[in-house]
Amino acid sequence: MYKQNKEVMKKVTVVLAHDNFENSIANQTIIKELKEVDQLEIRNIYELYSDYKIDVEAEQKALIDTDIIIFQFPFYWYSAPAILKAYIDQVFAFNFAYGPEGNKLEGKEFLISTTIGGPAEAYTPTGYNHFRIEQLLLPFEQTAYLAKMNYHQPIYEHRMVYVPGVYNTKESVENNAIRQAERLKEQINNFRQEEIEMNTLIHEFVAEWFGNFDKLAENGFFINHLDGKVIFKFPEGEYEGHAGFANWYDSIKETIKADNKHMVEIKSIKRDGGFYRVALEVEIDAETNSGEALKMKVKEDWKLTIGQDKHIHLHEYFVEKIG
Ligand SMILES: Cc1cc2nc3c(=O)[nH]c(=O)nc-3n(C[C@H](O)[C@H](O)[C@H](O)COP(=O)(O)O)c2cc1C
């Protein structure tokens, strides 16, 4: 089983936008709870930039370096506090979040977590706020789509304001906030669990793939895992599609005997939008058909997808000789 260590554990960045955090009950409670989560950074953007002069470079770097982005804020006028709008306007820049080279946020998990003052019944067609929270948050949803992030159901709780003697109690607001934090933690765990499963699948697939190479198995096993437009780049040439693979594989079978050995080390597995990029180092120990020993060390870079049915398809397969 693939073990999750801290280097591969999905990192979380909480962008906290609150212009009165010292007097907050709800958001303070949530942040206090979230501090227990491993590999989680909180960026209190109002504290950092109360003059609204945002350090765009630092904020972009923080987003590039993370996997899960959470916007945490109190719901203000059916939206977010102004500092968060200023942050998005500046940080989600052309060729960063969108545009021809604007893929820096692609594939990241994106979660809105907001505390709602009003009661749930107000946010219905017949209630005084008319619209559902999900409708009011549509600009965030579309922002996520443009930036190619994975948008998830927003996490929020109602009745998050305490007006002494009039509306709620301090304790009820705190309890609601704890419930919201618990839901956030569960979602973070789900993302991380999913990642462990995907990593395990990739590890098992790599072992199976090279196991089949060792015995020079039938084409069928390999073809079954190749996208129709797969691109191969080998030291000996470039090949495309299933027919390309068959050509290359024929030449391999003409060159080496079965029962060769591939020693494989997975160097890294990274998400790239809907794809996974897998870096490998492989030592090949084989015997040629003419009886000579063939030893070679290569670096491989794979690009693959994992389908709903957990089936792996290779889209790119680049091999470079390193020894
Ligand atoms: C400027 C301002 C605007 C607000 N607008 C809304 C609103 O549109 N809808 C709502 O349900 N609550 C609204 N509230 C209530 C806040 O959502 C609530 O005070 C906040 O979520 C409590 O979080 P905190 O304890 O962390 O400050 C507003 C509060 C302020 C100060």
The answer to whether the CB of 56 is under 6 A from ligand 1 is no
- Residue whose Cα lies nearest atom 18 of ligand 1: it is 117
Instruction: Look up the CATH number of domain 215-321.
Output: 3.10.450.50
- Pinpoint the residues of the chain covered by CATH 3.10.450.50: 215-321
**Å from CA of 204 to ligand 1 middle:** 49
Residue 259 — left, alpha, or beta (φ > 0 → left; ψ -120 to 50 → alpha)?
Answer: left
CB 77 near ligand 1, within 6 Å: yes
pLDDT value, residue 3: 38
Instruction: Please give the Cα distance from 254 to 249 (Å, whole number).
Output: 9
Query: Cα(114) to centroid of ligand 1, in Å?
Result: 10
What is the widest separation between alpha-carbon atoms in the chain? 92
| C-beta 118 within 6 A of ligand 1 | yes
What is the per-residue pLDDT for 8? 65
Q: Output the CA 116–ligand 1 centroid distance in Å.
A: 6
Strands (E), the chain: 12-16, 40-44, 68-74, 109-115, 150-151, 155-157, 226-234, 237-240, 261-272, 275-287, 293-306, 312-321
Written as tens digits, the pLDDT of the chain (323 aa) is: 333 444 568 999 999 999 999 999 999 999 999 999 999 999 999 999 999 999 999 999 999 999 999 999 999 999 999 999 999 999 999 999 999 999 999 989 999 999 999 999 999 999 999 999 999 999 999 999 999 999 999 999 999 999 999 999 999 999 999 999 999 999 999 999 998 999 999 999 999 999 999 999 999 999 999 999 999 999 989 999 999 999 999 999 999 999 999 999 999 998 876 799 999 999 999 999 999 999 999 999 999 999 989 999 999 999 999 98
Ligand 1, atom 16, lies closest to the CA of 117
Residue 151 Cα to ligand 1 middle (Å): 23
Does the structural domain 12-196 have CATH classification 1.10.8.50?
no
Cα 75 to ligand 1 centroid, rounded to whole Å: 5
Sign of CA dihedral 94, 95, 97, 102: positive
